[in-house]
């Protein structure tokens, strides 16, 4: 079996669902259920004995040690993190605790477990750390996309904390021989995306008749990847990645934010037109820029294709259409995640209610 951390979040829950759709190998899912963790994402697994959910933190050494001893996983895949840049600007403390101290405690528990394994189990064991392209900093318009050899230049508390966790993972391989793999992925989108992030926030605000907030001039560029393609890349790296290596994962889909928002508006105009017949783009509103806003991210995903034969299967056009349809079809999920604490975040970040 495999131990997954953060498997009730956006990417983690997609990964658990896809994993169990592709194999019968059981999953232990350790998640602290912060505001971003949602067991509703995993509702379709209710009663499935292949999924064992445990509420708890990667920072809890004793709990992780016990889970490892009890379940003897062949791999640990670490998704657990604080993941939202804007929240890291308002309050970096949680990012330091979870992404740095939490990853450290997790690595310590995994190291102790791995050292105690028999030779054959030790040889096949893997620790896969899920990270981000944001550790490389910001690109200029004409710079080549991020390769694995780019230097780390994180610019936000979030990306700095992820960079620190990547360095710890690297050091545990170099110093202790822990068989690690690291993936650095670009922006994901798809089902179960928490609506603090651009794509789901814009969709939900559009449908609710609220402003669609564009930070600064809206010309910041992100490289978008459908979440299920990220999941397949992680499965492939786990299966065949070279120990100690990092793999950049991206969609070859660079888009300025304003283009992404216009695409969302156009699809909604077609699938769910506004009652007054006006276009959703009329709701676009320019707001104050994010402090230290990275201008451009882009991933060179050549290495993972060359070594492991992975390429994304969705284009932005196919993936974004599926995503809009998913949100239209899953309004009860939307209503549940946007009640309660979510409202407080929106008030703090954007003002009003
Ligand atoms: P998310 O915020 O949606 O989910 C994070 C999950 O981790 C939540 O379920 C939360 O409850 C859990 N968690 C938080 N602290 C924990 C702790 N101490 N112990 C156990 N669980 C804890 O994040 P996401 O977007 O699904 O991202 C998952 C991972 O992928 C993160 O490491 C993130 O840095 C990385 N990543 C995300 C993207 C993206 O576009 N979303 C892109 C590249 C990499
Ligand atoms: O690149 C990978 C990263 O992508 C992940 O590591 C992060 O966990 C994930 O949150 C994401 O970070 P971004 O900051 O790029 O994503 P976000 O959806 O917050 O913002 C995308 C772009 O849209 C960014 O340039 C900021 C802008 N934006 C965002 C919001 C929430 C707006 O213009 N308005 C908004 O209201």
What is 81-147 written as a DSSP string? S---HHHHHH-THHHIIIIIIIHHHHHHHHHHHHHTS-HHHHHH-EEEEEEEGGGG----TTSPPBP
Q: Which residue of the set 31, 82, 134, 229 is catalytic?
A: 134
In angstroms, the CA 336 to CA 222 distance is: 28
Ligand 2 atom showing the smallest separation from residue 197 Cα: 18
Report CA-CA distances (Å) from 111 to 31, 116, 160.
20, 9, 24
- The count of residues in the chain is 353
In angstroms, the CA 252 to CA 204 distance is: 26
pLDDT surpassing 70 at residue 222: yes
In angstroms, the CA 280 to CA 263 distance is: 10
Q: Which residue of the set 133, 196, 223, 254 is catalytic?
A: 133
Q: Using CA positions, which residue lies closest to atom 19 of ligand 1?
A: 57
User: Which of 280, 160, 269, 279 is closest to 212 using CA atoms?
Assistant: 280
pLDDT at 342: 84
Which positions ≥6 away from 93 have C-beta within 8 Å? none
Q: Using CA positions, which residue lies closest to atom 13 of ligand 1?
A: 80
Q: pLDDT tens-digit profile of 142-168?
A: 999 999 999 999 999 999 999 999 999
Ligand 1 atom showing the smallest separation from residue 80 Cα: 7
Q: Where are the beta strands (DSSP E) in the chain?
A: 2-5, 27-31, 51-55, 75-78, 126-132, 180-185, 187-189, 212-215, 221-226, 246-249, 254-256, 284-287
pLDDT at 70: 98
Is residue 134 flagged as an active site residue? yes
* Sheet with 51-55, side-by-side order of all strands: 51-55, 27-31, 2-5, 75-78, 126-132, 180-185, 246-249
- Measured in Å, residue 259 CA sits from the centre of ligand 2 at 14
Residue 318 class from Cβ within 10 Å (0-12 exposed, 13-18 middle, 19+ buried)? exposed
Q: pLDDT tens-digit profile of 289-323?
A: 999 999 999 999 999 999 999 999 999 999 999 99
Ligand nearest to the CA of 15: 1
pLDDT surpassing 60 at residue 71: yes
**What CATH superfamily classification does 2-192+226-252+298-313 receive?**
NAD(P)-binding Rossmann-like Domain (3.40.50.720)
- Measured in Å, residue 140 CA sits from the centre of ligand 2 at 17
Q: How would residue 352 be classed by pLDDT, with cut points 50, 70 and 90?
A: low
Ligand nearest to the CA of 98: 1
- Measured in Å, residue 270 CA sits from the centre of ligand 1 at 32
Could you state, in order of their start, the residue ranges of all structural domains in the chain? Answer: 2-192+226-252+298-313
Which positions ≥6 away from 94 have C-beta within 8 Å? 82, 87
Task: Express as a percent the part of the chain with pLDDT over 90.
Answer: 96
- Measured in Å, residue 350 CA sits from the centre of ligand 1 at 23
Q: For ligand 1, which residues put their CB under 6 angstroms from it? A: 5-6, 8-12, 30-34, 36-37, 57-59, 79-81, 83, 98, 102, 130, 132, 162, 185, 187-188, 194
């Amino acid at each position: 079996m495999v131990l997954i951390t953060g498997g009730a979040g956006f990417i983690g829950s997609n990964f658990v669902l896809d994993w169990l759709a592709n194999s019968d190998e059981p999953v232990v899912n350790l998640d602290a259920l912060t505001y971003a963790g949602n067991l509703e994402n995993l509702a379709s697994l209710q009663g499935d004995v292949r999924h064992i959910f445990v509420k708890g933190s990667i920072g809890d050494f004793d709990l992780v040690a016990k889970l490892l001893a009890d379940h003897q996983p062949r791999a640990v895949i670490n998704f657990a993190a604080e993941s939202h840049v804007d929240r890291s600007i308002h309050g970096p403390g949680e990012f330091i605790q979870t992404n740095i101290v939490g990853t450290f405690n997790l690595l310590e528990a995994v190291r102790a477990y791995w050292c105690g394994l028999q030779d054959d189990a030790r040889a096949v064991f893997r620790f896969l750390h899920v990270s981000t392209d944001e550790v490389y900093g910001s690109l200029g318009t004409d710079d080549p996309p991020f390769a694995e050899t780019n230097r780390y230049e994180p610019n936000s508390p979030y990306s700095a904390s992820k960079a620190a966790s990547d360095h710890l993972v690297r050091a545990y391989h170099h110093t202790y021989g822990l068989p690690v793999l690291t993936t650095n992925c670009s922006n994901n989108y798809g089902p179960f995306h928490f609506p603090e992030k651009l794509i789901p926030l814009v969709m939900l605000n559009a449908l609710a008749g609220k402003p669609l907030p564009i930070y600064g001039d809206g010309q910041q560029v992100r490289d978008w990847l459908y979440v299920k393609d990220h999941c397949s890349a992680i499965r492939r790296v786990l299966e065949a990645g070279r120990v100690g290596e990092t793999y950049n994962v991206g969609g070859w889909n660079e888009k300025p934010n304003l283009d992404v928002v216009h695409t969302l508006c156009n699809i909604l105009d077609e699938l769910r037109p506004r009652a007054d017949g006006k276009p959703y783009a009329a709701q676009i509103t320019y707001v104050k820029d994010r402090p230290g806003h990275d201008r451009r991210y882009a991933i060179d995903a050549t290495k993972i294709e060359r070594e492991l034969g992975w390429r994304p299967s969705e284009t932005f056009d196919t993936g974004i259409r599926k995503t809009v349809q998913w949100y239209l079809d899953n309004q009860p999920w939307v209503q549940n995640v946007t009640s309660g604490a979510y409202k407080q975040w929106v008030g703090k970040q954007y003002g009003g209610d």
